[in-house]
Amino acid sequence: MSGRRDFLSQPAPENYVAGLGRGATGFTTRSDLGPAREGPSEDQIKEALAKRAAQLGAAPPTAYGAPEKKEEDDDDPRFQDPENEVGLFAGGAYDKDDDEADRIYQEVDEKMDRRRKVRREAREQAEREEYERNNPKIQQQFADLKRALGTVSDEDWANLPEVGDLTGKNRRSKQALRQRFYAVPDSVIAGARDSSELGTSIADDGNSGSGDNPDGAMTNFADIGAARDKVLKVRLDQASQGSGIDSVAGSATNIDPKGYLTSLAKSQINEGEAQVGDIKRVRVLLESVIRTNPKHAPGWIAAARLEELAGKTVAARNVIARGCEFCPKSEDVWLENIRLNDNHNAKIIASNAIQKNDRSVRLWVEAMKLESESRAKKSVLRKALDHIPQSVMLWKEAVNLEEDPADARLLLAKATEIIPLSVELWLALARLETSDNAKKVLNKARKAIPTSHEIWIAAARLQEQIGNAGKVNVMKHAVQALAEKSAMLKREEWITEAEKCEDEGAILTCGNIIRETLGWSLDEDDDRKEIWMEDAKSSINRGKYETARAMYAYALRVFVNSRKLWLAAADLEKNHGTKEALWQLLEKAVEACPQSEVLWMMLAKEKWQAGEIDNARRVLGRAFNQNPNNEDIWLAAVKLEAENNEPEQARELLKTARQEAPTDRVWMKSVAYERQLGNPEAALDLVNQALQLFPAAPKLWMMKGQIYDADGKTPQAREAYSTGTKACPRSVPLWLLYSRLEERLGALVKARSVLDRARLAVPKSPQLWTESVRIERRANNITQAKVLMAKALQEVPNSGLLYSESIWYLEARTQRKPRALEAIKKVDNDPILFVTIARIFWGERRLEKAQNWFEKAVVLDSDLGDTWAWYFKFLMQHGTDEKRADVIAKCILSEPRHGEFWQAIAKDPKNAKMGTEEVLKAVVARLE
């Protein structure tokens, strides 16, 4: 009987009208509508609506079945779709011309789409990025907060409150609900009472019970054993589930033995250090492995190694012997069995292993190694080659056993016939042959393996060995042949091959590889010069100077007039080449770039430093011809004459330079040279003339003030500085000289005023703020100094100079390190700050860290002389003679020119004759 209910008992559907399906209609009674009255007919309704519309002047109505006047339907969809040929062209024939026209239009559309594709995609990408930037996702808005969650500790996570109403009243009520109180049984109370009592009754046998402890508890050894078995079973189940495979509870039949192999190989523990309990547990696991899957070779190897680790060598041999029975085709098991046995038994085992696996190269090689006599080893390898003639390893072992090169050649010749696709065998045979035969061998190898670049490189090296590298360009043919076979290496791989040739002494081959392959896959549109310079720098960093030299040579052939490339190549020769090579390179450089005064001066300097003064003068003369009226060349000539004690010639050159190239720098050098010679009157006259020509040159005003100050003419010096600051209000050194003069004269208020005006003119200068702090500090006004320092750090928050001044002079010794840590977070890289941190470690006698920070500062800015001075002072106390000499050499090479203490020493006219090393030592003596 159906479970459906009778329809009469079900509610009627919504809007149901009885009898509607058979044509019956509903009716209305008087009780519903009141007195019955016949309403207007449909025609009467239409007539009334039409009359009403006519009175209003509207269109006739369309309701109640009134016909609507339809206009001609011009929007027939057939005429809107150009692909729809149902209408006008329904009867036309579609021929080849139509197909070709459609195809042409399609190609035109695709081409137009491709032309606009890049711009369209770029526009869409920009619009998408703009939309994402203006409407970021919630995930992006909280990305920084999510990253910050990585620093939350487990304890913090555990202390997070639960979500909900945490008000005091509700929290206390909920905590009260979570608490449960239970009545304590009387047995627990009685047990607690009896545990503290001392029993006085004695058993009949005189003992207090065989299983009773002094505390009255029973010891059930059966339960302890059962619990131990249960714990072991649980651990086995956990280990089996850890392998990722479902296992039956307690059976431990699906354990991955590779994990145990790895752990046994990595755990380098002695026999005495191995815990017996651990060995027993692992033994149970491995026995389960080899019992459930006896064909699994790693399980047998792991079990044998476990027994060996436990010191049971005999048991290990028995286990691995069983493994060989179950896994006769596994060479790993046989090799493990050979390793565990002595030489005599190992030979027998190796023989049995080879009988089961006569195609295993490793077993044949191991059997060969078990033999002690050379004849026996050769015999084993001959048998091996009879079974596996295609093994390159066996042929190499056989060749290595031959003491006579002729026999080795015969073996290699046979090997290359059998294995013609082995590059190693061909190259080994070519090495043993004479030059002529080596050519033949390499030609055969090239025909056998046309896609091998190693054979081409070996042929190029052979040409270099016989002295034909300059005549025959093998690498050019190699590139063509490899490109035809689509076996061309990438550019980076060719560079690696060139560096290998350099390591092995094949310098010419290295250069040929670079010359033929450095431009491979690079178009003219690519930034080739920058790419090649980066490649050369990478090779220099790896110590491959010949490869870098070849790269620069190739790049200079493409970009002959690139001064940047010439300077980089000259720097390579200067640091890692010879003096003659550097001279030759610079001669080519000045010919290629005759308008580059840097190259001319570098060549003249190298000649001068080598003691060839006349050649240096000739170089400068050639530079004058190419670059007339160039101030750098004029000043280089002046320096050359001044350094060689030719003051009159230097004066004449300066005089000519002031006429031919009248720049403010030439006038400054003239004034400085007169001061060096001890002629303040001439220097003052020159500086006055220069200021009439260049009133906005701050250095000229500084020189004028220094000349007056050195002669003791303080009012004139003050006037010079005052006028200079008005003419050059942005010159920080000029303001500093002015304030220091006032401070030295005792006018502390005037010095403060000068610095206040200077900070208004140059608002964010750390030097001016530091000087203001120092004035207060030298006046023992530490409180005001700290106030100024706080303002300075707000104004210039990224200044390492300000932080260094604050850390070293305004902080207590215990607060220096925390302050330094704060400074490092706010200042990215600043050598002055690094020196301060190094001095902090130096004061704490943490010498290694101090030296590391000094070296970081030197690397960061090698032009800062104060950094070199502090580092050298540190090494004078805690360094070796070799390290001090190395620092001096690097300092001379870097030629530092800046630094507060360094400039004060180096630019003093009395120290004009000092070299870099002398200036370094003078600055070290002046440091506090």
The 10s digit of each residue's pLDDT in 261-281 is: 444 444 444 444 446 668 888
* Residue pair 734/698 in contact by the 8 Å Cβ criterion: yes
Distance CA 554, CA 539 (A): 15
Residue 522, pLDDT > 60, answer: yes
Distance CA 792, CA 806 (A): 10
pLDDT score at 214: 40
Q: What angle do CA 806, 807, 813 make, to 5 degrees?
A: 130
Q: How many CB atoms lie within 10 A of CB 170?
A: 11
> Under 8 Å CB-to-CB from 279, ≥6 apart: which residues?
306, 309, 310
The more confidently predicted of residues 448 and 6 is: 448
Q: How many CB atoms lie within 10 A of CB 156?
A: 10
Beta bridge partners, 898, equal 864
Give the max Cα distance, the chain.
141
Q: What is the DSSP letter of 521?
A: T
pLDDT digits (tens, 9 = 90+) for 339-380: 999 888 988 998 899 888 888 889 998 988 888 888 888 888
pLDDT score at 69: 45
pLDDT digits (tens, 9 = 90+) for 707-747: 999 888 899 999 999 999 999 999 999 999 999 999 999 88
Distance CA 307, CA 449 (A): 50
Compute the average pLDDT of residues 136-146: 75
Residue 796 in tokens: 């210039």
Lowest mean pLDDT among 215-224, 418-427, 452-461, 486-495: 215-224
* Average pLDDT taken over every residue of the chain: 81
pLDDT score at 46: 72
Q: Which amino acid is at 524?
A: E
Distance CA 243, CA 240 (A): 6
Beta bridge partners, 218, equal 212
* DSSP H helical ranges for 371-473: 374-387, 392-401, 405-418, 423-432, 435-448, 453-465
Compute the average pLDDT of residues 896-921: 89
Distance CA 285, CA 279 (A): 10
**pLDDT band at residue 92, thresholds of 50, 70 and 90?**
low
* Residue pair 743/777 in contact by the 8 Å Cβ criterion: no
**pLDDT band at residue 231, thresholds of 50, 70 and 90?**
low
Residue 64, pLDDT > 80, answer: no
pLDDT score at 22: 64
218 backbone dihedrals φ, ψ, rounded to 5°: -85, 140
Distance CA 679, CA 675 (A): 6
Residue 416, pLDDT > 80, answer: yes
Residue 362 in tokens: 């490793």
pLDDT digits (tens, 9 = 90+) for 13-51: 766 666 666 665 555 555 555 554 555 666 777 777 777
pLDDT score at 808: 92
pLDDT score at 636: 83
Q: Which amino acid is at 884?
A: R
Residue 588, pLDDT > 50, answer: yes
Beta bridge partners, 212, equal 218
Compute the average pLDDT of residues 465-478: 80
Q: Which amino acid is at 151?
A: T
pLDDT score at 130: 86
Sign of CA dihedral 53, 58, 64, 66: positive
Distance CA 257, CA 277 (A): 19
Among 663, 634, 665, smallest CA distance to 651 is for: 634
pLDDT score at 755: 94
Distance CA 260, CA 244 (A): 15
pLDDT digits (tens, 9 = 90+) for 152-180: 777 777 777 665 555 555 666 666 666 66
pLDDT score at 59: 58
Distance CA 495, CA 472 (A): 21
914: Cα within 13 Å, side-chain hemisphere: 20
Entry field: residues in the chain: 928
pLDDT score at 31: 53
Distance CA 586, CA 154 (A): 65
* Residue pair 309/337 in contact by the 8 Å Cβ criterion: no
Q: What angle do CA 214, 218, 222 make, to 5 degrees?
A: 135
Distance CA 677, CA 680 (A): 9
Distance CA 537, CA 548 (A): 7
Residue 77, pLDDT > 70, answer: no
Distance CA 330, CA 788 (A): 81
Q: Provide, for the chain, the percentages of residues in helix, strand and coil under a 3-state DSSP scheme, each rounded to the nearest 5.
A: 70, 0, 30
Residue 417 in tokens: 């016939």
**pLDDT band at residue 202, thresholds of 50, 70 and 90?**
very low
> Under 8 Å CB-to-CB from 298, ≥6 apart: which residues?
257, 258, 261, 332
Q: How many CB atoms lie within 10 A of CB 256?
A: 18
Percent of the chain surpassing pLDDT 70: 79
The more confidently predicted of residues 101 and 70 is: 101
- Environment class of 18 (CB within 10 Å of its CB; exposed 0-12, middle 13-18, buried 19+): exposed
pLDDT score at 203: 42
pLDDT score at 250: 38
Q: What is the dihedral of CA 406, 412, 413, 415, to 10 degrees?
A: 150
**pLDDT band at residue 413, thresholds of 50, 70 and 90?**
confident
Compute the average pLDDT of residues 52-81: 53
Residue 145, pLDDT > 90, answer: no
* DSSP H helical ranges for 327-404: 331-340, 343-356, 361-370, 374-387, 392-401
pTM: 0.58
pLDDT score at 552: 92
Compute the average pLDDT of residues 556-573: 91
The more confidently predicted of residues 139 and 654 is: 654
* Residue pair 927/892 in contact by the 8 Å Cβ criterion: no
pLDDT score at 251: 38
Distance CA 66, CA 45 (A): 11
